[in-house]
Homo-oligomer: A and B are copies of this chain.
Amino acid sequence: MSNRTYLDFAATTPTDPSVLAAMLPYFSEKYGNPSSIHSFGQETRAAIEAARQQVAGLIAAKPEEIVFTSGGTEADNQALEGIAWANEKNGNHIICSAIEHHAVLHCAEFLKKRGFAVTVVPVDQDGLVSPEAVAQAITPKTVLVSVMHANNEIGTVEPIREISEVIGRRTKDEGRKIYFHTDAVQTAGHLPINVAELGVDLLSISAHKLYGPKGIGALYIKKGTRLTPFLHGGGQENNRRASTENVPGIVGFGAAADLAAQTMAEENAKLLPLRDKLIKGLTTLIPDVRLNGHASVRLPNNVNVSVKFIEGESMLLNLDMLGIAASSGSACTSGSLDPSHVLLAIGLPHEIAHGSLRFTLGKQTTEAEIDLVLEKLPPIVDKLRRMSPLYPGGKK
Contacts and interface: CB of A to CB of B under 8 A. Distances in A.
A268 B32 CA distance: 22
Contacts of A63: none
B32 A12 contact: yes
A32 to B, nearest CB: 7
A327 B33 CA distance: 11
A73 B33 contact: no
Contacts of A6: 32, 40
Given A37-B316, A214-B246, A231 B28 contact: no
Interface string A38-74: 1111000000000000000000000000000011111
B12 A235 contact: no
A36 interface: yes
Nearest to A101: B233
B242 A103 contact: yes
Contacts of A333: 35, 234-235
Nearest to A12: B33
Contacts of A33: 8, 11-12, 331
A214 B249 contact: yes
B14 A102 contact: no
A210 to B, nearest CB: 13
B214 A334 contact: no
Given A14-B27, A70-B70, A243-B74, A233 B103 contact: yes
A28 B15 contact: yes
Nearest to A80: B232
A388 interface: no
